[in-house]
Amino acid sequence: MVLKSSPPSNASPISDQGTCPLPRALPVVPAPEDGKGRIHHPLSIKAAANPSLSLHELLPLLIGLACAVWFDVPVVAQSPVPLIYDTDMGNDCDDVLALGMIHALQSRGECELLAVTITKDHPLAAPFTDAVNTFYGRGDIPIGVCRSGVTPEQGRFLGMAADREKYPHDLTSGDDAPAAVAVLRKTLAAAQDASVVIVQVGFSTNLADLLRSKADQHSQQDGVELVRQKVRLLSLMAGAFRQVPGKGGKLGDHREYNVVKDIPAARAIAAYWPTEMVWSGFEIGLALPYPHRSILHDFGYVPHHPLSEAYIMYMPPPHDRPTWDLTSVLYAVRPDHDYFAVSDLGHVSVADDGLTTFKENDQGKSRYLILRDQDKARITEALMLLSSQPPTVMP
């Protein structure tokens, strides 16, 4: 059985024990409506505006108008999804591609990136993120950082941020960025109730800290209540819900990186997050490798593209990198496109060694993505098209 939504549920008390601080392109121009939620076909508008069209010019317009009348389907206008992106930027190149996807979806009017928070504790992670946002013309998006000591190494591509002539941006060091929890609380407090979608594709550190946070100048609510009031969905790339091939091709359990790097925080999110959660397990992105030919051929519209160059610096083609983080973004913004099936409701538990287990329960808050073989091609195409879409205003 496939469910599309989950009922609200109450949060459990949060312990203060543990090592983590919670037990630790182009713009889309809408066509005019007729007042009943139906879209006037643009061909009919063109014909009405230019009555001197010849028969040769008018015939295709009339055909288009007839099709529009025949398929007179009411259209429900949808607001952009308010989105927060929580990432361990710098540990893998899929974080970068996923951020590019978000900007493409915003250019299409499908989402609005409210803030980016980072769980990789390196001073260049935030400047690199700022450089990507600036490349897409959105250099003022707030960025928050953690100071957890988790993955403090620079990684393979964060050094790109040091070249501000090639990749312009304002933020020079994560030391100058605000704390992630402060950014999260300020952003959520200003949002409409039950509206925000959070995409977590790194460690659970920031969101666990958010749950533990107390009232401040941004909101009189504690973290759990603030999340319960403002967040609609947490779409997270974490865990594994199917056995995957190991060395020698033998299937076995997988202890997923994002969970293992901060197990106490992951356990806290699984147990105490008060709204709906949809998990994209390790097996999903693994089965959807990003075609390296796209990296080589689809980003050449500028001399230096931060997405393709980060991918190449991380692991050069002909490597096809799994699309783990991209799948969480795709579901977060387009849950009704039927790219994925989803499990029944249930609970996710995180063992002491980081192994995730799902147990069905109609009172649970969690579901996980299921990939169908027949959908792999169209999902991959969507990921390529969105990742490689040029900025609305070229840098």
Q: DSSP for 343-357?
A: PPSEEEEE-TTS-EE
Predicted pLDDT at 191: 98
State pLDDT tens for residues 290-300. Answer: 999 999 999 99
pLDDT at residue 288 greater than cutoff 80: yes
Predicted pLDDT at 77: 57
Task: List the single range of 40-54, 91-105, 198-212, 274-288 with lowest mean pLDDT.
Answer: 40-54
DSSP state of 171: -
Strand pairing partners for 115?
84
**Span 87-116, average pLDDT:** 98
Q: How far is 171 from 115, CA to CA, in rounded Å? A: 14
> Whole-angstrom distance between the N-terminal and C-terminal Cα of the chain?
47
pLDDT at residue 21 greater than cutoff 50: no
Pairing of strands 196-200, 366-370: unpaired
| Averaged pLDDT score across all residues of the chain | 86
Task: List the single range of 32-46, 109-123, 230-244, 319-333 with lowest mean pLDDT.
Answer: 32-46
Structural domains of the chain ordered from first start: 27-77 (no CATH), 81-388 (3.90.245.10)
Using pLDDT thresholds of 50, 70 and 90, give the confidence band for residue 61.
Answer: very low
State pLDDT tens for residues 167-186. Answer: 999 999 999 999 999 999 99
Of all residues in the chain, the percent with pLDDT exceeding 90 is 78
Pairing of strands 341-342, 366-370: antiparallel
**Span 220-245, average pLDDT:** 98
Predicted pLDDT at 194: 98
10 by Cβ neighbours in 10 Å (0-12 / 13-18 / 19+) ranks as exposed
Q: How far is 272 from 355, CA to CA, in rounded Å? A: 18
Predicted pLDDT at 40: 38
Q: Is the dihedral of CA 295, 296, 298, 300 positive or negative?
A: positive
Predicted pLDDT at 248: 86
**Span 78-92, average pLDDT:** 97
Predicted pLDDT at 109: 97
Residue 71's contacts (CB-CB under 8 Å, 6 or more residues apart) are: none
- Residue 68 burial (CB count, 10 A): 18
Strand pairing partners for 39?
33
Using pLDDT thresholds of 50, 70 and 90, give the confidence band for residue 247.
Answer: confident
Task: List the single range of 52-61, 103-112, 313-322 with lowest mean pLDDT.
Answer: 52-61
